[in-house]
């Protein structure tokens, strides 16, 4: 076996992530129970199947390729990677359609690694981390406002992100359950001051079905470093979004196509030398 074929500890840890996403999604309320009308299923399923027929004709897909697709699709399910596949290659267009009319802050995809009911923390807080947590400390601060600029007291900033090695708690093994996950309640002026560690870029697990597709197509497997957020306030629409780091690796080539120019952070060193700080405000549309 060559060095490249040898699964690394990183691979083993990453492999669990995609698989665990299926388990978490299945426990999501209404995941499979949505009531979608027959007319709508007919309309969308017919269009989707037709679109694939066109690809088969256009690309002259062979039986060999058809069987390879079948085998691959079966394996995606075995690996539990349908949530990963869909969120990486489909969700950004669903988000584009869903949020087209919003006037406030830009949203982007949720991805497969959100967990509801994270610990509640006050406006000025430090996210759960391990002793001697690796990485660059980051003070992430800002304010939640309405479209007219009114501060939204008691807004909730539900935040989750990977660690300095690109792993998510509850998806990669061996991490504390609520590492870098919290629901932060903003103060009376809608402000929050969240101390955390800057996350690293995220690599799609290389040894699952999504990784196999990426390798077979010769793509790269990376998302730029990002912080996920769900920001909400009474009488306002919740926004699901992510923030990225200006000049960071893969911001121009995100495999999940979820980067927008409005979602860039440019942290600066803190005066006291303790890592970086950055300010990002959210504007919520009315409900």
Residue 104 interacts with Fe ion (CB under 5 A)? no
Comparing CA positions, the residue from 91, 81, 87 lying closest to residue 14 is: 81
Segment 120-179, which members bind ligand MBD (CB under 6 A)? none
User: Residue 49: which H helix or E strand, with range?
Assistant: helix 38-59
Residue 107 interacts with ligand MBD (CB under 6 A)? no
Task: Out of 79, 81, 87, 163, name the contact with ligand MBD by CB under 6 A.
Answer: 87
| Nearest distance from C-beta of residue 202 to Fe ion, angstroms | 6
Task: Out of 13, 181, 191, 223, name the contact with ligand MBD by CB under 6 A.
Answer: 223
Instruction: Determine the Cα–Cα distance for residues 264 and 21; give it in Å rounded to an integer.
Output: 26
Residue facing ligand MBD at closest CB distance: 111
What are the beta bridge partners of residue 138? Answer: 196, 276
CA distances from 164 to 53, 176, 198, 216, 239 (A): 43, 14, 7, 28, 25
Residue 83 interacts with Fe ion (CB under 5 A)? no
How, if at all, do strands 137-146 and 282-284 pair?
Answer: parallel
Q: What does 163 interact with, of ligand MBD, Fe ion, none (CB < 5 to 8 A by kind)? A: none
For the chain, helix, strand, coil in percent to 5 are 30, 25, 50
Residue 166 interacts with Fe ion (CB under 5 A)? no
Residue 284 interacts with ligand MBD (CB under 6 A)? no
Residue 88 interacts with ligand MBD (CB under 6 A)? yes
Residue 104 interacts with ligand MBD (CB under 6 A)? no
Among the listed ranges 25-33, 66-74, 105-113, 191-199, the one in contact with Fe ion (CB under 5 A) is 105-113
What are the beta bridge partners of residue 141? Answer: 193, 279
In terms of phi and psi (left: phi > 0; alpha: psi -120 to 50; beta: otherwise), the region of 142 is: left
The first and second tokens of residue 220, run together, are 């790269």
Task: Out of 80, 104, 107, 112, name the contact with ligand MBD by CB under 6 A.
Answer: 112
Terminal Cα-to-Cα distance of the chain (whole angstroms): 58
Instruction: Determine the Cα–Cα distance for residues 72 and 140; give it in Å rounded to an integer.
Output: 41
Residue 201 interacts with ligand MBD (CB under 6 A)? no
Number of residues that bind ligand MBD (CB under 6 A): 11
Say which DSSP state 287 is in.
-
Number of residues that bind Fe ion (CB under 5 A): 1
Residue 18 interacts with Fe ion (CB under 5 A)? no
Task: Out of 83, 111, 190, 224, name the contact with Fe ion by CB under 5 A.
Answer: 111
Residue 83 interacts with ligand MBD (CB under 6 A)? no
174 by Cβ neighbours in 10 Å (0-12 / 13-18 / 19+) ranks as exposed
Q: Which residues bind ligand MBD (CB under 6 A)?
A: 84, 87-88, 109, 111-113, 202, 223, 256, 258
Q: Which residues bind Fe ion (CB under 5 A)?
A: 111
């Amino acid at each position: 076996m060559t060095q490249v074929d040898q699964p690394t500890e990183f691979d083993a840890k990453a492999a669990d992530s995609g698989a665990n996403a299926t388990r978490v999604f299945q426990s999501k309320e209404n995941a499979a129970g949505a009531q979608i009308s027959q007319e709508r299923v007919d309309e969308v399923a017919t269009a989707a199947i037709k679109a694939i027929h066109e690809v088969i004709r256009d690309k002259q897909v062979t039986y060999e390729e058809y069987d390879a697709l079948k085998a691959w699709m079966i394996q995606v399910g075995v690996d539990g990677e349908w949530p990963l596949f869909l969120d990486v290659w489909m969700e950004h267009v669903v988000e584009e359609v869903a949020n087209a009319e919003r006037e406030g802050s830009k949203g982007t995809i949720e991805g497969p690694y959100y967990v509801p009911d994270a610990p509640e923390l006050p406006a000025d807080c430090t996210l759960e981390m391990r002793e001697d947590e690796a990485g660059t400390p980051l003070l992430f601060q800002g304010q939640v406002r309405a479209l007219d600029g009114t501060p939204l007291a008691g807004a909730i900033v539900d935040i989750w992100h990977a660690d300095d090695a690109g792993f998510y708690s509850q998806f990669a093994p061996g991490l504390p359950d609520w590492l870098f996950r919290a629901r932060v309640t903003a103060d009376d002026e809608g402000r929050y001051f969240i101390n955390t560690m800057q996350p690293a870029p995220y690599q799609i697990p290389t040894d699952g079905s999504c990784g196999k597709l990426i390798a077979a197509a010769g793509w790269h497997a990376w998302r730029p470093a990002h912080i996920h957020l769900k920001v909400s306030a009474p009488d306002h629409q919740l926004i699901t979004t992510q923030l990225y780091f200006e000049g960071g690796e893969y911001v121009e080539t995100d495999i999940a196509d979820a980067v927008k120019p409005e979602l860039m952070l440019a942290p600066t060193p803190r005066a006291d030398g303790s890592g970086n700080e950055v300010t990002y405000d959210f504007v919520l549309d009315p409900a």
